[in-house]
C-alpha cells in the first residue's frame, strides 16, 4: 500500500496492475487505477511476491516541467540532444523531433545561452518565446 501511495504521489492516478504469486497456484492479477488498487488492498495488503505494472497517464499528458527535468537530467548525464530526445520520446510518447528541439533549448539554457546552440539573438528558439509572451522578434 505504501508503494501505491508513492506511485500516486509521484505519477498521479493512472492504470496499474497488481500481480501476485505469478506462475504459482494462487496467481492473482488485479487491474484498476492506482487509487482503486490502494482502496482494495488498504485493509489487507497482498501477500507473497508482488509485481506492479504501471501504465501511462489516463489523460495522456505530462507536465512540461517533467519533460524539461527529464531532458535536463539526461543531458547532464552526458547524453547529447539527439540521444536525450530519443530516450525521452520513449518515456513520454512525444514525437522525437519536438523533444530534440526542446533538448537543444534546455542544453542552451544550461550553457547560459539565449537560444539553441549556434543561434543568436532573441526569438531564435522553437517558439517558446512567443508562447511565453516574450517580445523578442524573429
At 40-72, the pLDDT tens digits run: 999 999 889 999 999 877 766 667 778 888 999
- Do residues 72 and 116 both lie within one domain? yes
The reply to whether 17 and 41 lie within a common domain is yes
State phi, psi for 124 to the nearest 5 degrees.
-100, 5
pLDDT tens-digit readout, 101-136:
999 999 998 888 644 444 444 444 444 333 333 333
Q: Indicate whether 136 belongs to any domain.
A: no
Report whether pLDDT(90) > 60.
yes
Q: Taking the model in full, what pTM does it have?
A: 0.45
Q: Domain span at residue 28?
A: 2-54
Number of domains, the chain:
2
Pick 92 or 95 by higher pLDDT. Answer: 95
Q: Is residue 130 part of a domain?
A: no
Q: Is residue 137 part of a domain?
A: no
Average predicted confidence (pLDDT) for the chain: 80
Asked whether residue 50 falls in the same domain as residue 24, the answer is yes
Amino acid at each position: 500500500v505504501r508503494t501505491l501511495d508513492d506511485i500516486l504521489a509521484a505519477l498521479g492516478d493512472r492504470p496499474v496492475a497488481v500481480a501476485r504469486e505469478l506462475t504459482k497456484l494462487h496467481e492473482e492479477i488485479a487491474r484498476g487505477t492506482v487509487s482503486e488498487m490502494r482502496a482494495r488492498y488498504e485493509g489487507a495488503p497482498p501477500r507473497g511476491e508482488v509485481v506492479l505494472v504501471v501504465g501511462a497517464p489516463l489523460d495522456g499528458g505530462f507536465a512540461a516541467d517533467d519533460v524539461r527535468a527529464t531532458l535536463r537530467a539526461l543531458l547532464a548525464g552526458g547524453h547529447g540532444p539527439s540521444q536525450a530526445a530519443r530516450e525521452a520520446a520513449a518515456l513520454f510518447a512525444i514525437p522525437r523531433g519536438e523533444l530534440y528541439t526542446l533538448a537543444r533549448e534546455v542544453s542552451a539554457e544550461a550553457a547560459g545561452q539565449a537560444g539553441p546552440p549556434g543561434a543568436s539573438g532573441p526569438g531564435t528558439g522553437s517558439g517558446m518565446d512567443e508562447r511565453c509572451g516574450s517580445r523578442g522578434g524573429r
